[in-house]
Amino acid sequence: MLASRDAITIYALAVFLVYASISIPRFASPVTTGFLLLDVIPVLLIAMPMTLIIITGEIDLSVASIAGLTSATMGVLWAGGMDIWLVLAISLLVGVVCGIFNGFLIAVLGLPSLAVTIGTLALFRGLALVTIGDNAVANFPKSLTAFFTSKLGATGIPTVMIGVVVVIIFFGVLLHFTPFGRGLFGMGYSKEAAAFVGIKVARSKFWLYVASGAVSALAGIFWTLRYTSARSDNASGLELAVIAAVLLGGVSIFGGKGSIPGVLAGVLLIGSLNYALRLGRVSDVVLITVTGLLLILSVVAPSIGSAIRGWRHTRRAHHNAAQ
């Protein structure tokens, strides 16, 4: 357990935070907490359902496009003069509908999720463009946009983190402490064997995609209100960032393995690295390179480790045999 991949990421995060606090001026301050968390919230949110989906051996590449479509919808509805709460509800519903669409194609029709969500990645982003075109809507209610950047007193923690934490706990408990979660791990390794113990493979997948759609919509709403700008290209390209963070958090791309604490550490590791580099005015070039290297290292390191152990073992065996 202690050497598993998610644990390694958690240690890496702890080590990095300590290092950064000591050696990077101004890193250890509530201001950092605030800005850093605001930056990672969209990834953090979407990473939750994504973790569950990847654990079942599937993937969802359309999340960022769903967020974009949500944002576009918000913009158009608000600009059309609708009540803001109704706007939010409908936008959330749009995400849910997108999730249902994905879920229908993947779970009900049994199509491969990688291929389907490449398709819906283009489709949902396209619909965002159709919805809002090249307009941007920015005049959201001040009180609301201010709320989305406000902090909890002097802690520096953004107020919206309360909601985010609820989402994290929800998915964490769902995955690790419920029969549903047990089923997901089973499915991840073998859909057939899972079906034989009565796990409703298709239905579970369907609900995961719906959840993914809903949470992506939340991320889209957060994005729109935090940046006070509803545009069709909001959050574009975020899917790869989310997947990178989830994989860094120790989730196996083949399914079956992974944990919410690990993913949390993965997201925060990339986020804090990112922020630390920005504080040090180190170019983003370094950031993407480091992100890539971390990702490679996180999967290669364990296999190098086991190769070395195996090699030692055989050498010892041969040695003993020789005597």
**Range 56-95, binding other proteins (CB under 8 A):** 61
> Is the C-alpha dihedral spanning 144, 149, 155, 159 positive or negative?
positive
> Is the C-alpha dihedral spanning 16, 18, 23, 26 positive or negative?
positive
How far apart CA 241 and CA 39 sit, in angstroms, is 12
Assess 26 for contact with other proteins (CB under 8 A).
yes
Q: Among 32, 73, 204, 216, which residue interacts with other proteins (rule: CB under 8 A)?
A: 32
Task: Please tell me the count of residues contacting other proteins according to CB under 8 A.
Answer: 107
**Number of other residues whose CB lies within 10 A of the CB of residue 116:** 24
Binding region for other proteins (CB under 8 A) out of 9-17, 204-212, 251-259, 260-268:
251-259
Assess 2 for contact with other proteins (CB under 8 A).
no
3 vs 154, which CB is nearer to other proteins? 154
131 vs 212, which CB is nearer to other proteins? 131
89 vs 252, which CB is nearer to other proteins? 252
Beta bridge mates, 230: 137
Burial label for 219, CB within 10 Å (0-12, 13-18, 19+), is buried
The single residue listed with the structure tokens 């389907």 is: 116
Q: Among 29, 144, 165, 169, which residue interacts with other proteins (rule: CB under 8 A)?
A: 29
Going by C-beta distance under 8 Å and a sequence separation of 6 or more, which residues neighbour residue 134?
232
Closest approach of other proteins to the CB of residue 24, in Å:
11
Provide the residue type at 51 as one letter. Answer: T
Closest approach of other proteins to the CB of residue 90, in Å:
19
From 24, 1, 42, select the one nearest 270 (Cα to Cα): 42
| Terminal C-alpha separation, the chain | 36
Site for other proteins in 127-166 (CB under 8 A): 127, 129-130, 133-134, 136, 138, 145, 149-151, 154
By rule CB under 8 A, what string of x and - marks binding of each residue 172-191 to other proteins? -x---xxx-xxx-xx--xx-
Q: Among 7, 147, 227, 261, which residue interacts with other proteins (rule: CB under 8 A)?
A: 227
Q: Among 10, 66, 88, 116, which residue interacts with other proteins (rule: CB under 8 A)?
A: 116
Half-sphere exposure of 205 toward its Cβ, with a 13 Å CA cutoff? 28
Assess 228 for contact with other proteins (CB under 8 A).
yes
> Is the C-alpha dihedral spanning 234, 118, 163, 255 positive or negative?
negative
89 vs 315, which CB is nearer to other proteins? 315
89 vs 162, which CB is nearer to other proteins? 162
**Number of other residues whose CB lies within 10 A of the CB of residue 174:** 18
Site for other proteins in 259-318 (CB under 8 A): 274-275, 278-279, 281, 283-296, 299-300, 303-304, 307, 313-314, 317-318
89 vs 256, which CB is nearer to other proteins? 256
